[in-house]
A and B are shown apart, each in its own frame.
Chain A
């Protein structure tokens, strides 16, 4: 079902649910029964609009959701065979930044404004290789800065974050994330805050690093174009559920779930000449008002009574292409491939 290597997938998330406890009475379901795998060297794109649970899913892998309010009612997150939901905080600390790194959307706030870029990168090195000589650490950091194609690493080393542009800072973040040579890199909308020409540079750089280091990547974004360019496989999420999953080209060419179809249609391709942009009616409901059953049922043109009851089983549309929608059942096995 997945691109497994000899030793099985690097990361396997099984049936993950995440709840947030707001007050004594209210529990919000942020993520519901999501399963996916990431093979080594593979890039998985998680695609969805705001509030679909894509960021929460990623934060769960590193246990970065606010501890006081987050509940994991079910599921397993198996990373190299270990269930990350059940290991000690100390073990987690070791995995974070060492085996798994993360890059955030806002490079401006992800760096501490009080320390130079060099100091912060050095700290990252020493955290994961305690006892390393200062000179050696510095060497490693300069190498890392150079590897993200920043000219004059020496100068950048002694620069404070405020003096750098968003694109430069995001490169530094990537350098920092790659310092420990992680097996898995989680990128949460890493290029959304950047200008288009800078975004292109950063994406190119990430693709290059991936080739070189054979790192697995989870790439979270709302931008179909970025997914198309970066991801081998894609998982589409809506309302905390996985709606569709499969190889990127396959999913984008033959979308099966009505939400995926709508999302692709509302992204005008260069040769679209219609008078109006196709849209999905309505808006994404807040977690509090998320409909029961299939979360998309109140915006879906194919919705029936059944959809408001339970979430459908996932059906295999073709090899390595899953979708969860009742409409697929009624219309027979091969409907996804019109």
Chain B
């Protein structure tokens, strides 16, 4: 009788493939699914921007339709020189989200590599952490301004600048996570089982750090989007005609009394996208954790 019972419990808890577990756990989280949907919409905008709204509409102005409210022709209305807000938002997605994601990924990859070197090699740790300390002492905004002033405010330069400003933070945070993991017995156990450093990092250390890194990265993406907007505002980022959301937002502050739509639309775009990315990140973290399997 006991044997049978044991078999039954084993059947009940039998695990499926890792990927299916993750997907199943992810879709149980409603907020994360909302995040995913918004991200899909954003991706759709990025890929099919030209199909949704012809590129000419971004700069084409129609003085007769200045400051128009929402209509069939102009879904989100027009701005003070009659440009279609909807088209600008759709095309701005590429720039704003591109800068946020690009800068985050670049700094994340470089920061993670530095952090891994720190966590594994004590001597390199000393050197890298001192450099990071100095790096952190230079005010981020000043560093960004100098770099942009020297190299000019293109999208590529903006990404590079924001990434450079972010690397020390990522390095320090990921390093502390990794150091914690490296001290666990199971890392030592893997070493004793003959696992080499490369495999140790890929199979044991990174999967256990991924939780924290995902949340950190998603929060950084939204912060980067806002920083890009800020830099555009003071004229150091993307130059005016391009429909960067932050630039649009700053531009709209002049007209917020007469035409609040101009302010609300890009603001909402930034907020919703940032929120969606954060929710998605939280959901992904939970889904990747085998302990949340019920």
Contact = CB atoms under 8 A, between A and B. Distances in A.
Query: Are A and B in contact, CB atoms below 8 Å, in the complex?
Result: yes
Interface in A36-67: none
Interface residues of A, number: 3
B260 to A, nearest CB: 42
Contacts of B7: none
Interface string B210-250: 00000000000000000000000000000000000000000
- The secondary-structure label for the interface of chain B is helix
Contacts of A282: 2
Chain B, interface size: which category? under 10
B258 interface: no
A289 interface: yes
Interface in B1-49: 2, 5, 9
A298 interface: yes
Interface string B36-70: 00000000000000000000000000000000000
B11 to A, nearest CB: 13
Nearest to A308: B1
Interface string A284-322: 000001000000001000000000000000000000000
A235 to B, nearest CB: 27
Contacts of B9: 289
A309 to B, nearest CB: 13
Contacts of A289: 9
A287 to B, nearest CB: 14
Interface string B108-146: 000000000000000000000000000000000000000
A298 B5 CA distance: 9
Nearest to A282: B2
A140 B207 CA distance: 54
Contacts of B5: 298
Contacts of A298: 2, 5
A298 B9 CA distance: 13
A20 to B, nearest CB: 16
A258 B158 CA distance: 73
A262 B2 CA distance: 18
A298 B7 CA distance: 13
A282 B1 CA distance: 14
A118 to B, nearest CB: 34
Interface string A249-286: 00000000000000000000000000000000010000
Nearest to A291: B5
Interface in A187-217: none
A177 B106 CA distance: 57
A298 B2 CA distance: 6
Nearest to A304: B1
A198 B2 CA distance: 42
A79 B5 CA distance: 42
Nearest to A288: B294
Interface of B: 2, 5, 9
Interface of A: 282, 289, 298
Closest 4 CB pairs of A and B: A298-B2, A298-B5, A289-B9, A282-B2
4 contacts: A282-B2, A289-B9, A298-B2, A298-B5
